[in-house]
Structure 1
Amino acid sequence: MKEAVTILNQALLTEKATMLSANLNKYSFVVSSSASRTNVKDAVEKTFGVSVLSVNTLNAKPKSKRDRTRRNKEGFTSGYKKAIVTLEAGDSIDLA
């Protein structure tokens, strides 16, 4: 198994992720592109000391961007893999 540090890149703090954590006890993380659901589950349980019920993963596609300083060249942002982790009732993670 990979180390938890290499699997969990950062917590995803968006408006939707904050709403999910407040209402449904779900937390979002940007994870390594090669991480599986079981790797993410083990990393969250080991890092935060909580019990994980389920893990949903998705690959966020890169978005196109324009660079106006270099004659309107078009490029892309990098894509990433996102994991939404559902915790058992009574468990919580302090991401602040």
Structure 2
Amino acid sequence: MKEPVTILKEALLTEKATMLSANLNQYVFSVYPQATKTNVKNAIEQTFGVKVNKVNTLIQKPKTKRDRMRRGKLGYTALSKKAIITLKAGDSIDLA
């Protein structure tokens, strides 16, 4: 099993993520692209000591962007993977 440090990058604290955590007990994390749902679940449970009910993952594919510093040549944004974690009722994670 992989270490939680090699799976979780950071917690995402956007407006949508704070609405999910307040209303639905869901938290959003940025994870490494090679991480699976079971890896993410185990990492969250080990790191924060909570019970995870469900893990949803999504991959944001790279977009092409025009780079003005290199005379208009195309560049790409980074590929990223997010995990939306649903916790058991009564559990919570303090991200502040």
Match of 1:85 in 2: 85
- Secondary structure of the 2:6 match is helix
- Secondary structure of the 1:50 match is coil
Unmatched tracts of structure 2, length 5 or more: none
TM-score of the superposition, structure 1-length normalised?
0.93
Task: Give the fraction of aligned pairs with identical amino acids, expressed as a percent.
Answer: 70
Question: What displacement does 1:71 show?
Answer: 1.3
- Secondary structure of the 1:78 match is coil
Report the RMSD for the aligned CA atoms in angstroms.
1.0
Question: What displacement does 1:63 show?
Answer: 2.2
How far apart, CA to CA, are the structure 2 residues paired with 1:64 and 1:18?
29
Match of 1:68 in 2: 68
Match of 1:52 in 2: 52
How far apart, CA to CA, are the structure 2 residues paired with 1:9 and 1:91?
21
Unmatched tracts of structure 1, length 5 or more: none
